[in-house]
Amino acid sequence: MTDQKYTVAVLGCGLIGQSWAALFTAYGYDVIGWDPEPKPLSVLQGQIARSRDQVRVPETARLKKGCFRLVDTPEAAVASAFWVQENAPELVPVKVDLYRRVEAAASVNTVIASSTSSLTWSELAPGLKYNRRFITAHPFNPPHIMPLVEIYAADEDARRTAVSFFRDLGREPVVLSRDVVGHIANRLASALWREAVNIVAENVADVAAVDAALVHGPGLRWSVVGAHMAYHLGGGPGGIEHYLKHLGPSQERRWSTLGTPRLTPDICERLVQGVMAEARGRSVAELEAERDRCLLRALSAREECRDQDEPD
């Protein structure tokens, strides 16, 4: 018999679903997965186990790892789960159809969380009968490594449950007051990338130079302090108040000079060529493995500062 309290359903077992399963099982939850076109169970289990070994579980968390198994229907996946993490394709009708089946089979207290990156709560919630327990919980890829989970919940109880659930999983849940396309992180990333594309399009620097400037400058800084806080520290002893008073107008002027590039075939070609040069022959899989290795090192360095510098 399955213990509902410790069972999570993962709907959609692609890259994101597998990474979630790695996180959940690392923290001792049993995971029941469903996918309309699943890979063979042994392949999935192997990939999940490899990612699970990368999850940083504190010693105080339970030691026994959870199990991962596959079932044939979403109904069977959710029947005994207290949490459902949905990672279906980013299409409203596909997700809404899935929610209908989930609601018919899940316990009334089960939270249904969507990993959606490009849709909003308001677009998806009308598809549910009891939408108070429906939330969006958008991870930053890969979720078993990256701490950020962006949460929007219309219901106060569901929000509290979600924050506590993800905190206990060693994540850093961030709560939105209003649901918007792209949540917070992808909007910030999109805004930055627009200018990164513009700099290449305007021949100011090539792709590798733009990426190096980010990694060795603002990216490094933003891994430690946020953008608002960075301007607070940029304002000297008077902080952000001083900054806004003296340099606010020059920021507004700079904003007006930022580019609005289009992804024309010519620009796309230059981006592709530039990234290929930067990759220096390394495959996407090799680059991903390097990224994850370095992220894990960065997170381990971060833990030493945790008590003092966490922004919340």
Give residues 8-47 in contact with its own copies (rule: CB under 8 A). Answer: 15
Per the DSSP assignment, residues forming a β-bridge with 150 are 138, 174
Residue 194 in contact with its own copies, rule: CB under 8 A: yes
DSSP 31-79: EEEE-SSPPPHHHHHHHHHHHHTTS---TTS--SPPPEEE-SSHHHHHT
Nearer residue to its own copies within complex by CB, 104 or 189 = 189
Q: Is 64 in the site for its own copies (CB under 8 A)?
A: no
Residue from 97, 123, 155, 195 that binds its own copies (CB under 8 A)?
A: 195
Pick 67 or 189: Cβ nearer its own copies: 189
Q: Of these, 210, 246, 266, 281, which contacts its own copies (CB under 8 A)?
A: 210
Q: Does 229 bind its own copies (CB under 8 A)?
A: yes
What distance in Å separates the CA atoms of residue 84 and residue 108, rounded to the nearest whole number?
Answer: 12
Exactly one of 175, 201, 246, 281 binds its own copies (CB under 8 A); which one?
175
* Residue 275 within binding range of its own copies, rule CB under 8 A: yes
Placement of tokens 């520290």 in the chain: 233
DSSP element (H, E) containing 117: none
Q: Which of 126, 236, 246, 266 binds its own copies (CB under 8 A)?
A: 236
**Can you say whether residue 182 is alpha, beta or left, with left for phi > 0 and alpha for psi between -120 and 50 degrees?**
left
- 219's enclosing H/E stretch is helix 218-222
On the 0-12 / 13-18 / 19+ scale of CB atoms within 10 A, 126 is: exposed
Q: How far is CA 309 from CA 169, 223, 292, 303, in A?
A: 20, 11, 23, 10
Residue among 122, 126, 181, 246 that touches its own copies (CB under 8 A)? 181
Distance CA 92, CA 89 (A): 9
Q: How far is the CB of 150 from its own copies (least distance, A)?
A: 6
- Closer Cβ to its own copies, 76 or 267, answer by number: 267
Which residue lies nearer to its own copies by CB, 76 or 205?
A: 205
Q: Based on CB atoms, which residue is closest to its own copies, 103 or 179? A: 179
Beta-ladder partners of 134 = 112
Of 59, 160, 235, 266, which one interacts with its own copies (CB under 8 A)?
235
Q: How far is the CB of 286 from its own copies (least distance, A)?
A: 9
Q: Which residue has the tokens 């510098």?
A: 309
Beta bridge partners of 11: 34, 86
What token pair was written down for 207? 């792709």
Window 133-172: residues binding its own copies (CB under 8 A): 140-141, 146-148, 150, 172
Residue from the set 199, 201, 266, 281 that interacts with its own copies by CB under 8 A? 199
Comparison of 71 and 230: residue with beta carbon closer to its own copies: 230
Part in contact with its own copies (CB under 8 A); list of ranges 19-27, 74-82, 128-136, 218-226: 218-226
Answer for which of 209, 246, 266, 281 binds its own copies (CB under 8 A) is 209
